Amino acid sequence: MFDRRLWSQARGQIFPLLGAILSGALLGASIVVQAWLLSQVISGVFIERETLSENEMNFVLLAIVILLRVVFVFLREASAGEVSIRVRSELYEKLYQRVLQTSPVGLTGERTGEVISTIIEGVERLDAYFSTYLPQLGLAVIVPFTVLLVIFPLDWLTGLIFLLTAPLIPLFMFLIGKEAEKQTNQQWKLLGRLSGHFLDVLQGLRTLKVFGLSRHQGKVVRSVSEEYAAVTLGVLRIAFLSALTLELLATISTAVVAVQIGLRLMYARLDFASALFILILAPEFYFPLRQLGAAFHSGMDGIAAATSIFGLIENEDDQQEHKIVSNLPHGEDIRFEDVKFAYQDGARQSLRGVSFSIPAGKHTALIGPSGAGKSTIFSLLLGFIQPDEGKILVGDVPLDCISHPEWLQSVSWVSQFPYLFYGTVLENIWMARPDATEEEVFRAAKLANAVEFISGLPEGYATIIGERGARLSGGQGQRLAVARAFLRDSSLILLDEPASSLDPKNEEKIQEALSKLKTGRTVVTISHRVASIRESDLIIFLDEGYVKQTGMPTSLEKIPGPYRNLVMAAGGGK
């Protein structure tokens, strides 16, 4: 139950950690001193017949030690709590940064609900590990060790009993914990599964209602919830069993010490003060070990959560930074040289060695059937993935030698289904360039032909559009995405079928706005519409991960091949 990754996180908080350790050591010393003072007072009053006034100093010292013991407990818990707060804050920041740095392609294998469960629930479960389990682990070492140092010179037989019986508690804790570990890991996996499934159901509720499957999914959620409840009860059952076992071991061990002390005291082989001192220390010796058993399951819960947390943090980053150029190339052609890329660890080939050039200041169209590799090229241009082989050059500079954040500042992407965040219309446009003025935002909306519908909204630019733009039509949302591109004012524009799913009226407005956006910029479009393709300066026809044809639209129409077949199928050729 000692995870090196969690320990390395705690080790960074050296001062509160040392405070917790030092407080534990002082607490162990105060326990011994308190037991000694108490045994001296009781022995003096009841055996030596001393008066209370003769023991006045011992009473004062005893009160001081008890007060110090309370202070040391408080300091230990406060220091451990500080470690927990700081470590969890750091992990929250690391997880947040990791999610932000991970490309959308890198997150495709993760369920949103499970990621959220790891970030929120997982990190919170570490609180008990750092604030309870780790401090108790230290106390379970410090206090018994301190007691043994005092007991062995005084009575080696009792010290030997302590030394032989103490390891039984962590031994049984370990044996029971092996089964509890399986149950806890299963519990955590089920929680992630439940969170992910519930979020999927919530986000797809409209589709489920349409197909009449909402009640069925309710039964699925109930089934997973019942399975999670059963596993949780199994964990609690083991926790109660281990608590009973450890309490029984501690009680029997204390009884063995008490019996042998009583017998030796009866035969006058041990003086009363020493015997009482040992008897008072016996429960204190086993108490931290018993408490460790109680905290063991909190620690195990934290370990299970840490597996998911560090699995997310330590996942290999898709964006590898190499040598970074000092100046970002502008107005340069972009060249793909024998670029290869495969998904699923090479199992699914997407690009099989493509070479082409995207001319600066021109409009290039990527066309081809589904699965040809068009979206992969966009992900490569956005820096979300890196080529398995080959290289991408901006002018003469490799793309992977350009700072990714700086490169993205020069790119605008308008997708087929743009993501709109919960917030106002103004905030959703503003996110493209947070340092822009309101006047610049208004101008971008005007260029995107979005002012007309925005002015018709209840509160204009201050209207809350709902999660994923639920209160807007597809055409309205698309125009906000184009407004973002205008506000960003990038030199490279990537258009992924931005008007393919719109009605003719909205498509006309989008195409008009896009015509203005394309002026003077390098534009790369994914499109299947012949009308859009014919407006481009260069056609790149992809199929099965290869470049089949490149050239100007007018030239390719005259040459037998896949592009001419596409035009003829659309009724645009003879």
pLDDT surpasses 80 at 401: yes
Task: For residue 505, report the phi and psi dihedrals to the nearest 5 degrees.
Answer: -65, -50
User: Is a pLDDT exceeding 70 seen at residue 82?
Assistant: yes
The pair of three-digit structure tokens given for residue 453, joined into one six-digit string: 């519908």
Kindly state whether residues 56 and 123 are assigned to the same domain: yes
Residue 557: how many CB atoms within 10 A of its CB? 20
Last residue of a domain, one of 253, 279, 313: 313
pLDDT digits (tens, 9 = 90+) for 136-164: 888 888 888 888 999 999 888 888 998 88
- 495 shares a domain with 363: yes
Residue 51 has a pLDDT of 80
As a whole number of angstroms, the longest Cα–Cα distance in the chain is 123
529 falls within a domain: yes
| Structure token pair of residue 533 | 């393709």
25 and 107 housed in the same domain: yes
The pLDDT of residue 222 is above 60: yes
Q: What is the pLDDT of residue 33?
A: 92
Q: Which long-range contacts (CB under 8 A, 24 or more apart) does 223-228 make?
A: 224/190, 224/193, 224/194, 224/197, 225/194, 227/190, 228/187, 228/190, 228/191, 228/194
Residue 570: pLDDT band with limits 50, 70, 90? low
> Do 488 and 546 reside in the same domain of the chain?
yes
Looking at residue 384, the DSSP 8-state letter turns out to be S
Least confident of 91-95, 127-131, 203-207, 228-232: 203-207
Q: What angle do CA 438, 444, 446 make, to 5 degrees?
A: 105
Residue 345 resides in a domain: yes
Name the region of 572 (left: φ>0; alpha: ψ -120 to 50; beta: rest): alpha
CB 364 within 8 A of CB 378: no
pLDDT top residue among 104 and 432: 432
Residue 233 pLDDT greater than 60, yes or no:
yes
What number is the average pLDDT over the span 50-75?
Answer: 89
367 located within any domain: yes
| Whether residue 28 is found in the same domain as residue 87 | yes
The answer to whether residues 353 and 495 belong to one domain is yes
- Among 27-36, 47-56, 200-209, 318-327, the least confident range: 318-327
Give tens-digit pLDDT for 530-550: 767 777 889 999 988 899 989
| Cα 105 to chain centroid, rounded | 16
Helix (H, G, I), strand (E, B) or coil at 3: coil
**Co-location of 68 and 106 in the same domain:** yes
Is residue 560 one of the residues assigned to a domain?
Answer: yes
Q: Which residue, among 43, 104, 107, 195, has the nearest Cα to 382 in the 3D structure?
A: 104
Q: Could you tell me if 143 and 257 lie in one domain?
A: yes
Q: Is the model's pLDDT at 272 over the cut of 80? A: yes
Let me know: does 538 contact 551? Beta carbons within 8 Å.
yes
Residue 151 lies in a domain: yes
The answer to whether residue 27 sits within a structural domain is yes
Spatial CB neighbours of 165, under 8 Å, sequence gap ≥ 6: 249, 253, 256
Confidence band of 358 (pLDDT split at 50, 70, 90): very high
Confidence check: pLDDT of 255 > 50: yes
Going by C-alpha positions, the residue among 480, 571, 483, 479 that lies closest to residue 529 is 571
The answer to whether the beta carbons of residues 500 and 528 sit under 8 Å apart is yes
Listed range (86-95, 206-215, 226-235) with the worst mean pLDDT? 206-215
Mean local confidence (pLDDT), 325-331: 65
Q: What is the pLDDT of residue 2?
A: 64
The pLDDT, as a whole number, for residue 319 is 43
Has residue 567 got a pLDDT over 90?
A: no
Whether 216 shows a pLDDT value over 70: the answer reads: yes
Q: How far apart are CA 77 and CA 139, in angstroms?
A: 11
Full-model pTM: 0.66
Quote the pLDDT of residue 173.
74
Q: What is the strand order of the sheet 397-398 is part of?
A: 348-358, 334-343, 389-394, 397-398
pLDDT for 66 equals 92
pLDDT for 105: 61
User: What is the structure's pLDDT at 74?
Assistant: 92
CATH code for position 162: 1.20.1560.10
574 has pLDDT over 50: no
More confident residue, 296 or 496: 496
The residue-averaged pLDDT of 450-478 equals 84
Residue 185 has pLDDT above 60, yes or no: yes
CATH number at residue 511: 3.40.50.300
The pLDDT of 257-283, averaged and rounded, is 87
pLDDT at res. 321: 46
- How confident is the prediction for the chain on average, in pLDDT? 82
User: Per-residue pLDDT for 64 more than 90?
Assistant: yes
Q: Do 293 and 400 fall within a single domain? A: no
Q: What is the pLDDT of residue 330?
A: 72
Percent of the chain past pLDDT 70, that is, above it, reads 91
Q: What confidence category does residue 355 fall into, taking pLDDT thresholds of 50, 70 and 90?
A: very high
502: confidence class by pLDDT, cuts 50, 70, 90: low
Same domain, 27 and 174: yes
In a domain, 322, yes or no: no
| Domain co-membership, 272 together with 160 | yes
pLDDT classification of 339: cutoffs 50, 70, 90: very high
pLDDT at 420: 86
**Is residue 295 located within the same domain as residue 341?**
no
* CA 251 to chain CA centroid, nearest Å: 43
Position 326 scores a pLDDT of 52
For residue 257, give its domain range: 4-313
Q: How many domains in the chain? A: 2
Task: Give bridge partners of residue 367 from the DSSP assignment.
Answer: 541
Confidence of residue 104 (pLDDT cuts 50, 70, 90): low
> SS3 string of 138-164?
HHHHHHHHHHHHHHHHHCHHHHHHHHH
Region of poorest pLDDT, from 263-272, 301-310, 348-357: 301-310
Q: pLDDT: is 559 or 268 the higher one?
A: 559
Residue 328 within any structural domain of the chain: no
Asked if pLDDT for residue 505 goes beyond 90, the answer is no
Q: Which residue has the tokens 């509890």?
A: 180
